[in-house]
Amino acid sequence: MISLRHLARMIADRLHPPADHRALFGEIYRRNLWGDAESVSGPGSTRARGTDFMAELVALLRRLDTRTLLDAPCGDFNWIAEAADAVERYVGIDVVPELIEHNLDLHRTERRSFARADISRDPLPAADVILCRDCLVHFSTPDVWATLANFRRSGSRWLLTTTFVERDGNEEIRTGSWRPLNLQAAPFHFPPPLELVDERCTHTGGIYRDKRLALWELSSLPTAEMSQY
């Protein structure tokens, strides 16, 4: 059975060099290159996977008194409806226009909105919490730093994002590939997270059982410039 990492690397090798994130991730979407029958956002975005940790995620959002949740990127909105309904306002952002059109057609309500944007560079709305799940693992190191800087520019307070807590280091990749990312390891050196949500990621034989959603205050995070010292 082909591994997720190997599959992502083959996809990135096949599609590079794209003009931009829209071209790259749009091609992945249109050809369903993640290969999941339920969700074009991949096997991590099935409803069953969301159920594994949904109660803990919703409880955390409530402890943070989350009124506005920015889901960046939102993908096809397949797994997250319960968390979206737990806040006053949900905003889903994705770089792929077809995904946004799909979400507007099927999932828009008075409390849910969707917009197309590149989260690494385009202006983003301010939110209490930015949820950035299963995204930075697909970004090169420069793109990770650019995205974090863009999140700070939005004026949002909290970042809840994917990290793999037991990894000793971070492999460099081209954007569109994949690797388990530990944001506390070099070159990012994030401080200890304030909260962790265990995703109970056992569907891959347990090799990614250290996968977590980790909470940080955006103002506390290092910048690319700080990482040089």
CB 128 within 8 A of CB 218: no
pLDDT at 17 > cutoff 70: no
The 3-state DSSP composition of the chain as helix, strand, coil percent (nearest 5) reads 35, 15, 50
Residue carrying structure tokens 């919703």: 58
pLDDT in tens, 79-96: 999 999 999 999 999 999
CA dihedral 59, 4, 188, 62 (to 10 degrees): -10
What residue segments make up the domains of the chain, in order of their start? 4-228
pLDDT of the residue at 2: 46
The residue with greater pLDDT, 34 or 100, is: 100
Q: Is the omega angle on the peptide bond into residue 222 within 30 degrees of 0, that is, cis?
A: no
Average pLDDT score over residue span 31-42: 64
Average pLDDT score over residue span 24-45: 69
pLDDT in tens, 178-216: 999 999 999 999 999 999 999 999 877 889 999 999 999
pLDDT of the residue at 23: 83
Q: Which CATH class is domain 4-228?
A: alpha beta
pLDDT in tens, 125-171: 999 999 999 999 999 999 999 999 999 999 999 999 999 999 999 99
pTM score, whole prediction: 0.89
What percent of the chain stands above pLDDT 90? 72
